[in-house]
Chain A
């Protein structure tokens, strides 16, 4: 009997060890996978793989930025002069146009003459820019020069102000608007939710009667369990029109609406965790404070709150984590415009919403796909910074013992 018991205990022990190890390794692998996929972006060319840009070799422009390319194709820049070249109008040449100029016979069997003909077109037009597949590229022809293909740089990614991952010929992966969108929505959400949440937590743990607490606590906990898409629905149907009306906007889907819905969603978590922390303050501490002639409020802010600082900061981290990572509801109410936010009352798009909305369309392994993974990494780093900061603050608080 005793032996069986011992074997059983050993087995349980090893199962626990193994499961712990497996979980840790799995989490580590996920992080590694995330970063591996994401960092691959910086090895991708800034124009689509297998394509290059060609100009006439008399053209003095040797180098084009991603943004320049985009401006050319958006017809925002129409003269080479603006890019440091000669005073010539830019002529955009698309690959398909070659079939309007030459017939299939002229292009030869299996399009073997295609590179040559493309070369001719480029030589004839000194102001041309052509976006061509490398397979048919007029590489060895005199008078044609290929613009060097550059990799997407870290600066383009983090400093870029435009997010257009599907633009051709060169997609723009500027994450600044997304990072700002995420930060603005989350910070405002936390600014709304934190004072409210802590207020309710203090009320529940210190002031409310037993019966009120017994009624409210489970109700609030229930709110934490509502799926986020339901909150999103609520936001879309109720909050969006209210925000639109109250602030007199043309659209109600704004950063502020997203903050509101996030605040509502983060509240139950903040309240529950903070309330637990406050109530965990030993009765000894409260009694000691009150016995010295402190009032209830003095006791709350001089003893109870400092004592539960680490629990409260856990509430803050969970709240912020929820706000930062929340996808569905935000996707539904922020209007999803990946542009630099100028005010709270404009549509924005957050990092998680971007990943959710675009991952389905991004071809696996491509630059777009990798950029979404990199967004995931950024989100991961931001949340990590938040939780480390909260940890440090709560430790300091406890040591200093305000």
Chain B
């Protein structure tokens, strides 16, 4: 279970997230939607402490992942990030071979010898529905893949270290419709093994793939409920306006 309690987040003086409270169950897909700059990506990046990399940021409140406050001083950030994988908006494979891209996480975390790594790479590529397309060219540079394949490679890379939670920051926003549908299918299949939190600016996508949906606006979590309910019968006026396309 993932929980956020009274989260406030600041970029310098800018109050980016305001009093966020949320609970997400395991093995569900939670989608965050909202207009640009509403704080949904910022919120997502709290769960693997990616925002730590940005200067002059400040957080109050508690972020609980598997019973631990991940902003506690005793938390080792690299261990946390092993548990909470992330897929980014733009496909960002390393300038390495396909194999080495997937093996990277295993290597930096000392997870097994050559044989185990090879097995794990294959499993991850299969899980990311990429194996059949790349099994004959694992030694080739990752940059030779198409954008959609690169993104699935990045998903495989994240899966390789066996996280329990997968954060996805608009994973399909830079892809064509066919690649997008492949990713969506993949997310659907991954749900049984992983807890997935996804940020998207595409409302149809949120409706298609998620169990729960949160609507962010101006740094506030306006509404959080079951996806079906959110899109058919939203409680708040703002949500209604946004999903019917009246603004945003």
Contacts and interface: CB of A to CB of B under 8 A. Distances in A.
Interface of A: 210, 282-295, 298, 302-303, 306-307, 398-399, 401-402
B154 interface: yes
Contacts of A291: 48, 50, 81, 85-86, 88, 158
Given A287-B50, A288-B154, A293 B78 contact: yes
B97 A401 contact: yes
Contacts of B104: 289, 292, 294, 302
Contact of B95 (A286, A290, A294, A398): A398
Interface in B100-118: 100, 104-105, 107-109
Contacts of A402: 96
A150 B178 CA distance: 79
B79 interface: yes
A288 B88 contact: yes
Contacts of B85: 291-292
Given A401-B96, A401-B100, A293 B82 contact: yes
B108 A295 contact: yes
Nearest to A309: B95
B55 interface: yes
A398 B100 CA distance: 13
A292 B158 contact: yes
A309 to B, nearest CB: 9
- For the residues of A in contact with B, the DSSP-based class is helix
Contact of A294 (B53, B96, B108): B108
A372 to B, nearest CB: 45
A287 B45 CA distance: 11
A302 B108 contact: yes
Interface of B: 48, 50, 53, 55, 78-79, 81-82, 85-86, 88, 90, 92-97, 100, 104-105, 107-109, 141, 154, 157-158, 161
B90 to A, nearest CB: 6
Nearest to A401: B96
A288 B95 CA distance: 12
B88 A292 contact: no
12 contacts: A210-B55, A284-B90, A285-B92, A287-B92, A288-B93, A288-B154, A291-B50, A291-B88, A294-B104, A302-B107, A306-B95, A399-B141
B70 to A, nearest CB: 13
- Pick from A210, A298, A401 the residue with the most CB of B within 10 Å: A401
A387 B246 CA distance: 60
A286 B53 contact: yes
A288 B156 CA distance: 12
A401 B100 CA distance: 9
A289 B93 CA distance: 10
B92 A292 contact: no
B55 A289 contact: no
Contact of A303 (B48, B50, B82, B94): B94
Contact of A401 (B78, B90, B105, B141): B141
A293 B105 contact: yes
Q: Which 8 residue pairs across A and B have the least CB separation, nearest first?
A: A293-B82, A401-B96, A292-B105, A284-B92, A294-B108, A291-B86, A293-B81, A401-B95
